[in-house]
Amino acid sequence: MHTPDLTVQRVRHPLKMRLLQVRRTQLIAPHLLSVTFTGDDLDDFVSASFDDHVKLFFPLPGESQPLLPTVSPEGVRMTDSGPRPIARDYTPRRYDSAAQELEIQFVLHGDGPASNWATQAKPGDYLGIGGPRGSFVIPTGFDWFLMVGDETALPAVGRRLEEVPAGTRVIAVLEVDSDHEKVDFETRADAEIIWIRRDGKPAPLETAIRRLKLPDGEGYVWAAGEASVMRSIHTHLVSERGLHKSRIRASSYWKHGAVAVHESHGD
């Protein structure tokens, strides 16, 4: 009997800065906007994992194009002493090399540089993109996958559900503000999608995970969302459920009272 290789791999990519333009936008849910970019700089773009992240560089007020850092053997540096561009981390939702298209999905969460830019984005607008610097490649041979997250995790969850082989057992527990924020995923997986509505409740995502019965066999958990929630879920699964820390990847995509947060727990 063939035993699948369950080794997680970290892959490095050459770092490159790219100047892209908006090709089209589409509102997927009331607060989830898809923006598709194009440009010659995408020719050698590589994204090897569903939870890769690229650094988006936004134009400064009054500017049409962002000021991009330069990459050299000495590292990354800005080209002048002017204001630094505003940058945020985002997941490459879809890359089509033939069509020369890169899709990024933005959660429209109110007043913020990324949300404000995306809300007003129109074809022809410029945006800078750096990376991804590397990929955390999780093999598909596990008996089951559990995916956990809030709205910020939906692009990565959607990409993973599209990419796993047919019949792959996937449970996705996803927290949204209301039923209107649910999205439809295209997948050939044996997928169970569990939607959790906040409804003003404290930590509904963590509560749902504590009540969830994990399948038998060798599994892998991927989780992303608010920092304190992700930390609690990671601790619960490792300390109380006995899941080995090598079988869980929990990341903070945002944090209450902070900006530009992206960190992993238990690595």
29-69 pLDDT, tens digit per residue, is 999 999 999 999 999 999 999 999 999 999 998 899 998 99
Residue by residue, DSSP assigns 135-197 as EEE--S-SSEEEEEE-GGGHHHHHHHHHHSPTT-EEEEEEEESSGGG-------SEEEEEEEE
| pLDDT above 60 for 267 | no
Provide the pLDDT for residue 260: 63
- In whole angstroms, give the CA distance from residue 24 to residue 16: 23
pLDDT beyond 80 at 225 = yes
Classify burial at 118, counting beta carbons within 10 Å of its beta carbon; exposed 0-12, middle 13-18, buried 19 or more.
buried
Distance CA 104, CA 36 (A): 6
Rounded average pLDDT over 191-197: 97
Average pLDDT, rounded, for the chain? 92
Going by C-alpha positions, the residue among 96, 138, 111, 109 that lies closest to residue 8 is: 138
| SS3 at position 118 | helix
